[in-house]
Amino acid sequence: MTIQVLSQAQIYEMAGLRPVPNAYQPATVGRKGMIRAVNKPFSENLRRVSFRTPGELRKQMPEQVYYTNPTISYTKKNRDGTSMDYNRTDGRFRAIIGENTQRVYAIMSNRYEPTQHSTVLEAMAQASEDTGIRIFGNIRGDKQSITQGIMNAHCIFASPDYHAYFERNEKDPYMLGIRAFNSHTGLTKFGAEIFGVRMICSNYNVFGRSLGYIGWKHFVKEEDIASGFAGVLKYYMNEIPALANLISEADNEILNITEAEAVLWGISLQPNNIDGIIDNIETLNPEIKDLSRITTYDLYNAATAYLSYRSAGGNMINGTIELAHKIERILTDKTGDLLETGFERKRRWEEMQKTKTIKVTADDISIVDAEWD
Q: In 3D, which of 308, 3, 29, 262 has the Cα closest to residue 139?
A: 3
**pLDDT exceeds 50 at position 144:** no
Contact between 29 and 274 (Cβ < 8 Å): no
Residue type, 169: N
Contact between 158 and 15 (Cβ < 8 Å): yes
Q: Which helix (H) or strand (E) holds 192?
A: strand 190-198
The confidence score (pLDDT) of residue 10 equals: 94
The confidence score (pLDDT) of residue 373 equals: 43
The confidence score (pLDDT) of residue 289 equals: 94
> What ranges make up the beta strands (E) of 59-163?
65-68, 71-77, 83-89, 93-98, 104-109, 135-138, 150-157
Q: Which is more confidently placed, 314 or 188? A: 188
pLDDT band for position 370 (cuts 50, 70, 90)? very low
The confidence score (pLDDT) of residue 369 equals: 45
Length reported for the chain: 373
The confidence score (pLDDT) of residue 34 equals: 66
Q: How far apart are CA 148 and CA 117, in angstroms?
A: 13
**pLDDT exceeds 60 at position 372:** no
Q: How far apart are CA 264 and CA 254, in angstroms?
A: 15
The confidence score (pLDDT) of residue 89 equals: 75
The confidence score (pLDDT) of residue 161 equals: 93
The confidence score (pLDDT) of residue 371 equals: 45
Question: Each residue of 78-93: pLDDT tens digit?
Answer: 777 788 776 767 778 8
Q: How far apart are CA 16 and CA 46, in angstroms?
A: 15
What's the average model confidence in pLDDT over 303-324? Answer: 82
What's the average model confidence in pLDDT over 98-107? Answer: 87
**pLDDT exceeds 50 at position 75:** yes
Q: Which of 194-203, 217-226, 295-304 is predicted with the least confidence, judged by mean pLDDT?
A: 217-226
Mean pLDDT taken over the chain: 86
Q: Which of 49-63, 211-225, 283-297 is predicted with the least confidence, judged by mean pLDDT?
A: 211-225
Q: How far apart are CA 11 and CA 156, in angstroms?
A: 9
Measured CA to CA in angstroms, residue 282 lies from 27, 277, 354 at distances of: 10, 9, 30
The confidence score (pLDDT) of residue 358 equals: 57
Instruction: Identify the DSSP state of 69.
Output: P
The confidence score (pLDDT) of residue 179 equals: 96
**Model pTM?**
0.86
pLDDT band for position 154 (cuts 50, 70, 90)? very high
Question: Each residue of 219-266: pLDDT tens digit?
Answer: 677 778 999 999 999 999 999 999 999 999 999 999 999 999 999 999
**pLDDT exceeds 70 at position 215:** yes
What is the percentage of the chain residues whose pLDDT exceeds 70?
86
